Amino acid sequence: MRGVRWAPAYHLRSILGSDDMGWMGISDLPTFVVAVLVFLAIPGPGTVALLTATARSGVRAGYAACFGLALGDQVLLWLAAGGVAALLAANPMLFRGVQWLGAAYLVWIGVQLLRNRGDGAGMVSLGNGHWFRQGVLITLLNPKAVLFYMAFFPLFIDPARHRGLATFAAMSVLIFVLGLLYCSLLILAGHALRARVARDPRIATWLRRMAGACLIGFGVRLAFN
């Protein structure tokens, strides 16, 4: 089983041609960084929430959403490290309940965006706390993320150099830093959209409806996947 579990990591190393650095018990740091960046680039509800916060309420709101997403992500990282993922996997009803709760929350946000009408509705400035809480909840109410981290960590842990909590802490810090850099790029994009929205309210309506439809789609996918 150990050979099967670690095969993807060796496959990635053979593709990228990187050496085993073993930093802080991480078997292949360059491949780990690339893998995290690839997963960050996959569009999801967090991406939509971040862009929506920035386009509607500015850069500070974008970073509030960013840190909310990051906090939720860190909680899931450590839950995975603590074995909560195994508990969810062993209790399908519990997993399903959290999954449906997360799906309902995403659909609710999407419906609110679709129902929000009026000139300049896309530019209504909401408090940074609102975007922060939304980011936390969007992340925490996705139990599949815990299972993902539970499967992802073993691919890059060197059994011979593993340092226990220190290795998990190094991984979590790297994921936080890479996530912050990626979110900063998205915030810049959202800020550019905000400037265009200010000039043409019709763009605000179109963006709001698109964001609402995307969040509803993510919620339905989460519920029935």
- Which helix (H) or strand (E) is 7 found in, with range? helix 2-16
What pLDDT, on the 0 to 100 scale, is given for residue 133?
A: 92
Residue 124 belongs to what H/E stretch? none
Residue 209: pLDDT band with limits 50, 70, 90: confident
Report the range of poorest mean pLDDT among 71-80, 147-156, 167-176: 147-156
For residues 62 and 50, the answer to whether their CB atoms sit within 8 Å is yes
208 vs 190 pLDDT, higher one: 190
Q: What are the start-end ranges of the E strands in the chain? A: none
> Which pLDDT belongs to residue 223?
76
Q: pLDDT: is 38 or 89 the higher one?
A: 38
CA distance 4 to 70: 31
- Other Cβ atoms less than 10 A from the Cβ of 202: the count is 10
Question: Cα separations (Å) of 214 from 42, 110, 111, 121?
Answer: 14, 7, 10, 18
Note the pLDDT tens digit of each residue in 126-167: 688 899 999 999 888 877 777 777 777 777 776 666 666 787
Residue among 208, 214, 215 at smallest CA distance from 141 = 215
Give yes or no for a contact between 42 and 144, defined as CB atoms under 8 angstroms apart: no
CB 28 within 8 A of CB 95: no
Is residue 94's pLDDT more than 80?
no
- d(CA 218, CA 204) in angstroms, rounded, equals 21
Predicted confidence band of residue 122 (pLDDT cuts 50, 70, 90): very low
48-66 confidence digits (pLDDT tens): 889 888 888 889 999 999 9
pTM over 0.75: no
